[in-house]
């Protein structure tokens, strides 16, 4: 593939371009050979999601909990329940997606923008999971949950019975076998 930083490239093949024609004329009669071959550039191999997950080292929940250094692994778990103590969504800044707070009646972005902003609800589902070595909680964010459910937080809030702690559509995430790619980084250690 050919691209630049703006993902737009103009390629001319066998075009009649004056300065290229001049160059070719100057090269005639020299010992240099003009080549018609195409060089093949190589770059990083792009793996499918399935191939990437299969090539990532397998871990258990116990391995994750006992990890003392940064690592990446896949964990095969069964989902048990949705933890609702901290809710299932949050109000996020429309500019940077960070959690917003209310200050003096205004929505304020404390983390990145550090100024008043507007907000939109986004998924933050805490999912309890188990495997044969233990249990833990994984947090699923907006992009993943939206892909899995095919519905946005706004859709679920509009249709939700106000007596419920969370919408029943989230129950489709429970009692499933799921493979997660997990990164243990400095914040997790």
CATH class of 49-91+122-184: mainly beta
What average pLDDT does this structure show over 122-141? 96
Q: How confident is the model at residue 137 (pLDDT cuts 50, 70, 90)?
A: very high
What average pLDDT does this structure show over 78-82? 96
* Per-residue pLDDT at 172 exceeds 80: yes
Of all residues in the chain, the percent with pLDDT exceeding 70 is 85
Q: What angle do CA 110, 156, 97 make, to 5 degrees?
A: 20
Q: Is 165:86 a contact under the CB 8 Å cutoff? A: no
Compute the distance between CA of residue 183 and CA of residue 20 in angstroms, rounded to an integer.
51
* Per-residue pLDDT at 138 exceeds 70: yes
| Cα separation values, 1 from 4, 35, 38, 65, Å | 10, 21, 13, 41
Q: What angle do CA 109, 87, 127 make, to 5 degrees?
A: 115
Highest mean pLDDT among 27-31, 79-83, 158-162, 179-183: 79-83
* Per-residue pLDDT at 1 exceeds 70: no
This prediction has a pTM of 0.69
Compute the distance between CA of residue 149 and CA of residue 171 in angstroms, rounded to an integer.
10
Q: Is 118:153 a contact under the CB 8 Å cutoff? A: no
Q: How confident is the model at residue 34 (pLDDT cuts 50, 70, 90)?
A: low
**Partner residues linked to 33 by β-bridges:** none
Determine the pLDDT at residue 5.
Answer: 53
């Amino acid at each position: 593939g050919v691209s630049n930083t703006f993902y737009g490239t103009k390629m001319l093949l066998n075009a009649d371009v004056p300065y290229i024609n001049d160059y070719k004329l100057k090269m005639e009669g020299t010992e240099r050979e003009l080549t018609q071959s195409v060089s093949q550039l190589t770059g990083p191999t792009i793996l499918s999601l399935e191939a990437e997950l299969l090539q990532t080292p397998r871990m258990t929940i116990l391995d994750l909990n006992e990890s003392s250094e940064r690592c990446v692994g896949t964990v095969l778990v069964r989902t048990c329940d949705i933890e609702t103590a901290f809710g299932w969504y949050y109000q996020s800044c429309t500019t940077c997606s960070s959690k917003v707070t209310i200050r003096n009646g205004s929505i304020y972005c404390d983390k990145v923008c550090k100024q008043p902003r507007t907000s939109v609800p986004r998924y933050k589902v805490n999912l309890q999971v188990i495997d044969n070595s233990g249990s833990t909680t994984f947090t699923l964010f907006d992009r993943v949950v939206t892909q899995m459910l095919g519905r946005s937080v706004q859709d679920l809030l509009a249709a939700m019975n106000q007596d419920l702690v969370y919408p029943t559509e989230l129950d489709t995430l429970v009692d499933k076998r799921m493979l997660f790619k997990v990164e243990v980084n400095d914040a997790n250690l």
